[in-house]
Structure 1
Amino acid sequence: MRIGELAERTGLSRDTLRFYERTGLLVSRRLPNGYRDFPPEAEPWLRYVRTAQALGFSLAEIARTGAELSAAPDAAERLSELFREKIALIDARTAELAALRADLAGRVGTGCPLAPA
């Protein structure tokens, strides 16, 4: 399918699709007239990409793990493991942010809030 049709079906802009193609996240072939031709499986793949992004995965993580998962017989278990890893990162970041918040809160109303605590 051509880029306009894929954009319409996925709700992504043509620029986004071109970016994904440049970064290797999406593959097309060129027709003799120079138009891009995307395979039918591009549409479900892009839904996967959008869902993974919404769950906090970067495009680099999606590109790396997407290739791993497509070849894995235990894809569901591997995906669950990736979710557990992402949850651990979120928990660590949440703890860092809570410590930062406590530090900032402790400095409110002090005579010199930028002095070492």
Structure 2
Amino acid sequence: MTGLFPDMSSEDLLAHIRASLEDDKAEDITTIDLRGKSSMADYMVICSGRSTRQVASISDKLKDRLKQELGRTTKVEGKDQGDWVLIDAGDIIVHVFRPEVREFYQLEKMWMAPGSVTAQA
């Protein structure tokens, strides 16, 4: 782990990320538990912004909060286009989509087991 809180659990980081997304009015926040499914991360969080501007803003603020409050650097992809931004926070991968793009890619269906329940805001 990196940052000011090297012992922070992925669950604590997840709570911090979800709080940031909720503060910035992200919509349809979905958490997918990847433990045992993938070694890339413990959780994937998928949410939507209503416009390219909101998608960029949500991702910028999340990146800034993780850096300022937790000392955690993130990798960000796709911010320039604003349709789909990926934020790699280590144990957690966050996808921020415009609704149309999210519907097109349907990541939830790809990663969730049939009949599984997700935590949504």
Query: Quick check: TM above 0.5?
Result: no
| Bigger-Rg structure (1/2) | 1
* More helix, by proportion: 1
Measured against the shorter chain, the TM-score band is: under 0.3
Q: TM-score, normalising length from structure 2?
A: 0.22
Q: TM-score, normalising length from structure 1?
A: 0.23
